[in-house]
Structure 1
Amino acid sequence: MASLSEPQPAKPHVLLIPYPALGHVNPFLKLAKALHMRGFHATFVHTEYNHGRLLRARGASAFDAGAEGLRFETIPDGLAPSGLDATQDIWALCEATRRTGPAAVRELVERLNRTDGVPPVRCVIADGSMGYVVHVAKEMGLPAYLFFTPSGCGFLAKLNFDQLVKRGYVPFKDESCFTNGYLDTPVDWIAGMLPSARLRDLPTFIRTMDPDDTMLTINIKQCELDSPAADGILLNTFDDLERRSLDAIRARLPNTFTVGPLGPEFSPPWYLPSLTSSLWKDDDRCVAWLDRFAGDQGTVVYVNFGSITVVTSEQMDEFAWGLAASGCPFLWVVRPDMVRGGWALPEGFASEVAGRGLTVPWCDQEAVLEHPATGGFLSHCGWNSTLESLRAGVPLLCWPFFSEQVTNCRYACDDWGIGLEMPHEVGVGRHQVEAAVRELMVGAEGTRGAAARSRAAAWKEKAKVAVAPGGSSHVNLDKFIQEIVRGKC
């Protein structure tokens, strides 16, 4: 038996590199905390821009939890310096990180490996959207995994972008393809997708007339070059929810681990509670306000279009008056950068919804969705929001904006049965908002709203099973950890 005076083996050191947008950083931080809780030394990498935003929003506590073996580092994102508190241009960010990131990641690994008191990096987990990291890691002799933070169905669709190009579906011939029904073209040849899938149900990066479009070509590189080079793929989903898509993904990428929904089961609220990924300060009034409606469970509709969506002031006015006319209590997140040039509540709106409507700049979304007063979620269908809603048993009103949000919307409404789709191709009016909110929140038995509420409750229980000991995601996380500890790392 080893004596206490003998040096103890170093903890395995995992480097985690998310794409620098909140929807990617959030699940990555949950994964980092889950690994640290299980004995890993973890280094979490922010871009310098997001590091600055977190400092301004959260202070130093966003990076200092007093936890040994969990550290934060930064790399440049390749864009011009900015002090704005707003989401960066996604297209420019993707191009810049892929161009400048390899040298920055290499320098970071080399620096960490010569830092006193820090064990050498033994494994890299990079965002699927930062797939170039795989090749840097391989050149340095390190195992590398890709964590794709979108849905399984969204990832599967992107895995077929190259076929869409080879078969002549993409790029679009001309601008008429956006309006002449071309988007309704069936794509029933994609194994694992819904048989009724159409072009409009695939991530919006295919909607281009440019064969060299930045997002189209980067997504193809991520799937055709980066993913096969990785030692494995992680997905924040669970087998029962997306089995058909996952079977098709694993046919191409066999070492795929489903580890979702990443949440309190893997990194409990009491574990390093000060560490957060939120780039805006949460409004602390939300839970207390929801408590006022706790006696009437499921009566409040929560409205949040995520961290990237940008809309017009006219669209905001329509949503505002539609929510007011619905008669339902609502909690509405209105991000400071959600409308270019800013937006103010319409005249007379505050008095119309007094006592039953609360608007805030940001909130703890999981706390809101888990609150018993919350009964519906008007959402952009980002994957974090969709999965958190499903985990809480809250049905969706779907208003997707871009990327695989349209895919998530289609599955939520037509496969999982937890959502109702709102018009999004040509905008949405206040009367449509009013009708949709009422149908979801108070629709009688036999209506689509009642069915969505019932299905959401059923999926909540299945999600619990997946992350419980012995569940598919719990087992997969353990397998992934053992692969790092005993296998390739």
Structure 2
Amino acid sequence: MAAPAAKSHLAFFPFPSQGHVTPAFQLARLLHHCHGFDVTFVHTEHNRRRLLRARGPGALAGEPGFRFAAVPDGLPPSDEDAARDVAALLLSLPTMVPHFKELVLSELPAASCRRLLVSDVDPILRAAQEIGLPCVTFWTTSASSFMVMQQVRHLVARGLVPLKAEEWIPGQHGHRLGAGVAQGHARLRDFPTFIRTTDPDDAMLALTLRLTECYRTVPSAVVFHTFEELESQVISAMSDILPPIYAIGPLPLLLREAGGDHAASTSAGYSLSKEDRACLDWLDGKRPNSVVFASFGSLVKLTSEQLAELAWGLASSGYEFLWVIRSDQQATGAAGGTAAVLPPEFLAETEGRGCVTSWCPQEAVLRHGAVGAFLTHCGWNSMLESVCAGVPMLCWPFAADQQTNSRMACTEWRVGVELSEDPGREEVEAAIRQVMGGGRGEEMRSSAAEWKDKAALAARPGSSSWVNQERVVDEVLAPLMDKKRVC
């Protein structure tokens, strides 16, 4: 591929949680190795320490033209191997601004090298604007969730948000909000959870409104981690309300198409937690499509009751399962590791047909032929990885963009079954049986296989996502840096 005529420097500053860090790192690798940009990838100090514990010094060793930096996150110091509380982290983002400015002005290559910021953090994007640093937004969740967030200001203007009465709070699954979402009407439960407030001064609602206004006015372009075929109507609709937009994904597939050593730097290669790869050996002995894989990402917490109901749903289904339960998974707290949060009777009942681990290389697990269904919280990385692997989903969303993603999987892509907001064991068992066997399961498996092929095609040279990542370089990054590229 062509490279910039002179070295140009990209500063990546993703929102500091696993679901944002992973795709941002993948995009940074792609632009560094395939297009010749130098990169400084910025972590928080908390995440830097987590990476060192999980992967050793090599995780932050860098290489020529690719370096790492870190800033404090403004929260009390913690060496806990767990993600920060998201609400607290969002509210602390402004404290990172002076550290970011100092990094740009004193540590990044200066006058002889053009610089540009790639970020999804509102205060950081605005800070870049203040110091004259060109910036691009990389939106690491679905384009559909971005569109839904853009509609929040219209809901506020129409007096629908904040909510006026308790009867509007979740449970009214049939209630629809005509907010102009491209795919049609959206139910209240399909919107991000932070609009479900009756408080006009709600901090999360205010942050959402400020964030969406930022994305419309500050960056020169918005890059989405998706592919056009997956969210075509939304992408088309957003072209009228945003700066230039580009769909570049799925990034793991683009990296594999690009080839070379950097192709291995997918989600499994940049985890903030230590992975248990022994679960892949456990899967090796299983029949094709025979295992239910259950994982709820890096942030979701479950109550002891939810864990118990899910456990007995898995047990009663009769299927083998691989279940990821983080050490900080249980909302009420539990000592003694993953076994301590599960009923002893469940462990005895499922001995020999279940594998429980604290973290795993999820992308590799989903690609394993033994996995027949994915019970997921519907975080966007998980959704894309499942689509790329052709694995049907059992969708149990909890917060943020997850409700919107679940809606898309179940109604638009037809690769998922939606669970209620607090499913009991009978519902879990029935959903597993539905996805793993029978006519409905076969239909979903067929749809999943079709989407797997479409994702692979989008990432191939000459196809939509491949062309779009070249357009981002030619139409956005290079012009912003005032550099012409040479062949």
- The reply to whether residue 147 of structure 1 matches residue 144 of structure 2 is no
Show the 5 A alignment for 1:187-336: 187-192=177-182, 194-266=183-255, 270-271=261-262, 273=264, 276-293=269-286, 296-336=287-327
Name the CA shift for 1:347/1:191 in 2 (closer, same or farther; >3 Å): closer
Distance 2:381 2:311 in 1: 24
TM-score, normalised with respect to structure 1: 0.91
Distance 1:300 1:76 in 2: 41
Structure 2 letter corresponding to 1:465: L
Show the 5 A alignment for 1:20-419: 20-38=16-34, 39-65=36-62, 67-97=63-93, 99-113=94-108, 120=113, 122-127=115-120, 130-178=121-169, 181=172, 184-192=174-182, 194-266=183-255, 270-271=261-262, 273=264, 276-293=269-286, 296-339=287-330, 340-342=332-334, 343-419=340-416
Distance 2:16 2:199 in 1: 25
Q: Please state whether the residue corresponding to 2:229 is helix, strand or coil.
A: helix
Q: Is 1:131–1:227's contact at 8 Å kept on the other side of the alignment?
A: no
Distance 2:343 2:260 in 1: 38
Aligned length: 467
Q: Please state whether the residue corresponding to 1:123 is helix, strand or coil.
A: strand
Distance 2:457 2:351 in 1: 40
- Using the TM superposition, give the Cα deviation of residue 269 of structure 1 relative to its aligned residue in structure 2, in angstroms: 7.9
Match of 1:457 among 427, 449, 453: 449
Distance 1:373 1:53 in 2: 31
Name the CA shift for 1:436/1:318 in 2 (closer, same or farther; >3 Å): same
Distance 1:227 1:432 in 2: 41
Distance 2:214 2:255 in 1: 31
Structure 2 counterpart of 1:4: none
* 1:222-258, Cα deviation, whole Å (9 max, x unpaired): 1113432211001001111111111111111141010
Structure 2 letter corresponding to 1:283: D
- Using the TM superposition, give the Cα deviation of residue 459 of structure 1 relative to its aligned residue in structure 2, in angstroms: 0.4
Percent identity reads 43
Out of 264-273 and 197-206, give the one that drifted further. Answer: 264-273
Q: Please state whether the residue corresponding to 2:292 is helix, strand or coil.
A: strand
* 1:337-394, Cα deviation, whole Å (9 max, x unpaired): 0003124321132332222210000000000001111111000001110111001100
Q: Please state whether the residue corresponding to 1:241 is helix, strand or coil.
A: coil
Distance 1:333 1:160 in 2: 34
Q: Please state whether the residue corresponding to 1:141 is helix, strand or coil.
A: coil
Name the CA shift for 1:9/1:450 in 2 (closer, same or farther; >3 Å): closer
Distance 2:240 2:309 in 1: 45
- The reply to whether residue 16 of structure 1 matches residue 19 of structure 2 is no
- Using the TM superposition, give the Cα deviation of residue 137 of structure 1 relative to its aligned residue in structure 2, in angstroms: 1.8
Structure 1: stretches of 5+ with no match in the other structure: 1-7
- Using the TM superposition, give the Cα deviation of residue 412 of structure 1 relative to its aligned residue in structure 2, in angstroms: 0.6
Structure 2 letter corresponding to 1:334: I
Q: Is 2:393–2:417's contact at 8 Å kept on the other side of the alignment?
A: yes
Distance 2:175 2:456 in 1: 37
- Using the TM superposition, give the Cα deviation of residue 453 of structure 1 relative to its aligned residue in structure 2, in angstroms: 1.1
Name the CA shift for 1:54/1:441 in 2 (closer, same or farther; >3 Å): same
* 1:77-128, Cα deviation, whole Å (9 max, x unpaired): 121212222221111111111x21221211110122368xx9745111011x
Distance 2:171 2:398 in 1: 20
- Using the TM superposition, give the Cα deviation of residue 10 of structure 1 relative to its aligned residue in structure 2, in angstroms: 4.3
Q: Is 1:150–1:383's contact at 8 Å kept on the other side of the alignment?
A: yes
- The reply to whether residue 487 of structure 1 matches residue 479 of structure 2 is yes
Q: Please state whether the residue corresponding to 1:322 is helix, strand or coil.
A: helix
Q: Please state whether the residue corresponding to 2:186 is helix, strand or coil.
A: coil
- Using the TM superposition, give the Cα deviation of residue 200 of structure 1 relative to its aligned residue in structure 2, in angstroms: 1.6
Name the CA shift for 1:104/1:451 in 2 (closer, same or farther; >3 Å): same
Name the CA shift for 1:430/1:119 in 2 (closer, same or farther; >3 Å): farther
Name the CA shift for 1:179/1:371 in 2 (closer, same or farther; >3 Å): closer
Structure 1 letter corresponding to 2:312: W
Q: Is 1:306–1:382's contact at 8 Å kept on the other side of the alignment?
A: yes
Q: Is 1:26–1:278's contact at 8 Å kept on the other side of the alignment?
A: yes
Q: Is 2:307–2:341's contact at 8 Å kept on the other side of the alignment?
A: no
* 1:8-63, Cα deviation, whole Å (9 max, x unpaired): 96421100000011111111111111111121111111001111111122211111
TM-score, normalised with respect to structure 2: 0.92
- Using the TM superposition, give the Cα deviation of residue 171 of structure 1 relative to its aligned residue in structure 2, in angstroms: 0.6
Q: Please state whether the residue corresponding to 2:42 is helix, strand or coil.
A: strand
Distance 1:359 1:390 in 2: 23
Distance 1:124 1:173 in 2: 40
Structure 2 letter corresponding to 1:367: A
Q: Is 2:227–2:249's contact at 8 Å kept on the other side of the alignment?
A: yes
- Using the TM superposition, give the Cα deviation of residue 219 of structure 1 relative to its aligned residue in structure 2, in angstroms: 1.4
Q: Please state whether the residue corresponding to 2:12 is helix, strand or coil.
A: strand
- Using the TM superposition, give the Cα deviation of residue 272 of structure 1 relative to its aligned residue in structure 2, in angstroms: 7.3
- Using the TM superposition, give the Cα deviation of residue 484 of structure 1 relative to its aligned residue in structure 2, in angstroms: 4.7
Q: Is 1:318–1:428's contact at 8 Å kept on the other side of the alignment?
A: yes
Name the CA shift for 1:155/1:485 in 2 (closer, same or farther; >3 Å): closer
